[in-house]
Structure formats: structure tokens, C-alpha cells
Amino acid sequence: MRGKLSDVLKDAEKSSGVEPSVCKYEEHFKNAKRGATENENSDYKTFNDLYYDLVTDFYEYGWGRSFHFAPRVPGESFKASLARHEHYMAHALGLRPGMVVADLGCGVGGPLREIARFSGAKIVGVNSNAYQLEHARRYTEEAELTHLAEYRHCDFLHVDAPDDSFDAVYAIEALCHAPDKLSIFGEVLRLLKPGAHFGSYEFSLTDRFSAQDPIHLKLKADIELGGGILELDDRQTIDSALRTVGFEVLRTQDLAVPTGPSIPWYQPLVGSGISLASFRSSRNGRLVTTNTLKVLEKLRIVPQGSVRVLNKLNLCAVALAEAGRLGIFTPMYFIHARKPK
Ligand SMILES: C[S@@+](CC[C@H](N)C(=O)[O-])C[C@H]1O[C@@H](n2cnc3c(N)ncnc32)[C@H](O)[C@@H]1O
């Protein structure tokens, strides 16, 4: 069960001290550049890690233990829609008992545990953020799933595993944090056994995005800063990177484009919300949380800098909702590819 916000944030204080971290994050974000070599650009790793040190408790408080969006149908609860989106991935990749599968950028393991239970496959969660892994391991023990779930603390660009070691690899809204698609897809190809499948829900700009439109550009920049992302890609870049590294592309589809009655993926960010979880992530919920946090920060009940972190997340939430409404961005560009035999 999620605790009170003040309790949750005490964990953040233990990790490193929020105020200096948020300043460091802003500094690293300014310095990190796309196109630089990994050595030149170690900043991207630092800001990614700092970002998740800072925001994990807010994510768990506002969203739950699966840190992603989902397509939803009328009458379906928010929680059920998240699980269905996770099952969809497992089903598309044909996950089943006996398989060993990697989940790249596994968060606190919400999707991993759901997919392990649903498919019976053993899932290895890869995450560069130690704070999240600490939570993931604890929740996995509580769920008595340690026989189907394992975690590795490493960068998904250099996974601590030999070539050809996985029966499948998937990622859920995580590979946007890689500095570019060629390096991350190259690493996925290395990890997969010949003939094995790869699936990912990618953050992507859509064809409606215009690099000439200042509003589009501002929304893109806010998502990047508030989301800890170096640069958002478009679907052409994603598709072409898959082919360039040697994947056979089986299917790509923006799952945010409705095929029947649907509730937009960004609705939990704007709606007033009926459940407590959806209220917390909604516009009104964020306002209440921010005001409460301001008081708690003044009283020194939560660490100094907490409001600044929340403001970053709010910036991202507002930009995501507006980019979703304009149809210029999707968090669920589904890619399904196979490593040639
Ligand atoms: C938006 S969260 C999604 C988490 C999870 N897939 C889920 O849906 O709950 C992105 C995740 O990617 C992880 N991540 C970011 N950069 C990474 C890297 N270089 N190596 C490994 N994990 C990374 C973050 O720590 C975070 O857990």
C-alpha cells in the first residue's frame, strides 16, 4: 500500500538530499548533448540517474508501481488498463514458461511482476537506478515472485549478460532515456538469441509534430526537461534505427490511435479522477499535492527541494497532456522486431 506523501518522501531524503540533487540535475541537463560520444557525454547517465532518484517517490505516490501510460476503454479502470497494456506486450512476444526475458529500464518492477505472473516466463529487470531496484526487490519478495524475477543494476546500453542470452527482450517507455536509438537497439540485438523477439513501447513524436511550430517545440522541450530525456525521436528515426542495426521489423503501430471507443492515454493527467490514484495524477490532484508539499517543506517535514522536483514533474505532465491532445506525441509507439536466425 502506498503511504502518506510525507512518509514516502522521507525515503528520498535518505538517498542524497533533494535540494543539491535537483540543482545538479538542472546543470547536467543543460550540459548533456546528443551526438557526443559516451565518454564525452557521461552527463546523460548522471542526469538520468539523478532524475529517477528524485522522482521515484512522486511516481509511486501519483501513479502506482507501473510507470507508464496505457490505452483505456470505457468502463475499464486505470489499473486494469495498465495491466492490459502489459499483457499485450507479453502476448505479442509470445512469452511463456521456460523463457528467460529481459525488461530494459524496469522501474520498480510493476510491469515485470505482472508479465511474469501472466506469462510464467522468468524476467530479468535491468535498471541503472539503485533506488528503484531497492524498491523492486522488496516488492518482489512481498509478492513471493523471486523465482520468476531477478534484477540487474546496470546501464541498458551495456547489459551485464553474454551475447545471445535472452529468449525475448522488451522495454516499456524506457528507451527514450538512451542517448540515441542505434546504440540501444544494437545492444538489444546483441542480447537476443537468433530468431528471438523484441518489443517496446516507445516515446515518439508523431507525423503531426512540426519543428517549425514554436508551441510544438516548447511542448517537446518541456517533456524532455520534465521527463529526463535527452531528445525525443520521431517514428522514422526509430524504424530506421531498427533496420540499420539489423532487426527484421515485424510491426510498428501507434497504439494511441483509437480503433474503437476509447479514453485517451493522457486523460489521467487532466481529468478530475474518480479513484484516489487517478485524483493524485490529475490537474486538481497535482495542485493539492503541490500546496500540501509547500506547507510540509516550510515545516521541514519533507526535504527542501521537494516542491522543485514536483514542479518539474508537473511541467512534464502538462506538456504530455497537451502534446497528447494535439496528437503530436505518443508514449506507445509499439515496435515488434526479430533478430534474424
Ligand atoms: C518511465 S520509467 C519506466 C519504468 C518501467 N518500464 C515501467 O513501465 O514501470 C523508465 C525507466 O528506465 C530506467 N532507465 C533510464 N535510463 C537507463 C539506463 N541507461 N539503463 C537502465 N535503465 C535506465 C529508469 O531508471 C526507469 O526505471
- State pLDDT tens for residues 137-181: 999 999 999 999 999 999 999 999 999 999 999 999 999 999 899
Residue 222 belongs to some domain of the structure: no
278 compared with 126, residue with greater pLDDT = 126
Residues 106 and 243 both lie in one domain: yes
Strands 192-205 and 329-338: antiparallel
Grid cell 511541467 in the structure block, residue: 315
What is the tally of structural domains in the chain?
Answer: 2
Q: Report how far ligand 1's centroid is from the alpha carbon of 196 (Å).
A: 22
Residues 40 and 89 both lie in one domain: no
Residue 244: predicted pLDDT: 98
Residues 240 and 164 both lie in one domain: yes
CB neighbour list of residue 227: distance below 8 Å, 6 or more residues apart: 176, 203, 316, 320
Residue 19 belongs to some domain of the structure: yes
Indicate whether 303 pLDDT > 90.
no
Residues 86 and 35 both lie in one domain: no
Residues 333 and 247 both lie in one domain: yes
Q: Report how far ligand 1's centroid is from the alpha carbon of 102 (Å).
A: 13
Residue 191 belongs to some domain of the structure: yes
Cβ atoms of 19 and 304 within 8 Å: the answer is yes
Strand partners, 122: 100
Q: What proportion of the chain, given as a percentage, has pLDDT over 90?
A: 63
Residue nearest to atom 7 of ligand 1 (CA): 67
Residue 225 belongs to some domain of the structure: no
Residue nearest to atom 10 of ligand 1 (CA): 174
Residue 34: predicted pLDDT: 64
Residue 11: predicted pLDDT: 54
Residue nearest to atom 23 of ligand 1 (CA): 105
pLDDT single digits (tens) 213-267: 999 999 999 999 888 888 999 999 999 999 999 999 999 999 999 999 999 999 8
Residue 226 belongs to some domain of the structure: no
Q: Report how far ligand 1's centroid is from the alpha carbon of 281 (Å).
A: 19
Indicate whether 66 pLDDT > 50.
yes
Residue 114, domain extent = 78-216+233-260+329-338
Residue 60: predicted pLDDT: 87
Residue 149 belongs to some domain of the structure: yes
Q: Report how far ligand 1's centroid is from the alpha carbon of 212 (Å).
A: 31
Residue of 127, 135, 157, 230 to mutate, ligand 1, most atoms within 8 A of C-beta: 127
Residue 58: predicted pLDDT: 76
Residue 255: predicted pLDDT: 97
Residues 60 and 116 both lie in one domain: no
Residue of 106, 159, 223, 224 to mutate, ligand 1, most atoms within 8 A of C-beta: 106
Residue 228 belongs to some domain of the structure: no
**Torsion of Cα atoms, 180 then 182 then 184 then 190, to 10°:** -170
Cα 181 to Cα 190: distance, rounded to the nearest angstrom: 14
pLDDT single digits (tens) 75-127: 999 999 999 999 999 999 999 999 999 999 999 999 999 999 999 999 999 99
pLDDT single digits (tens) 202-212: 999 999 999 99
Residues 211 and 100 both lie in one domain: yes
Residues 247 and 304 both lie in one domain: no
Q: Report how far ligand 1's centroid is from the alpha carbon of 295 (Å).
A: 31
Residues 176 and 89 both lie in one domain: yes
pTM of the model: 0.87
Residue 276: predicted pLDDT: 44
Q: Report how far ligand 1's centroid is from the alpha carbon of 173 (Å).
A: 7
Residues 100 and 237 both lie in one domain: yes
Residue 152 belongs to some domain of the structure: yes
Ligand 1-lining residues (CB < 6 angstroms): 48, 52, 66-68, 105-107, 110-111, 126-129, 132, 155-157, 172-174, 177
CATH number of the CATH domain containing 173 = 3.40.50.150
Residue of 15, 129, 137 to mutate, ligand 1, most atoms within 8 A of C-beta: 129
Residues 104 and 181 both lie in one domain: yes
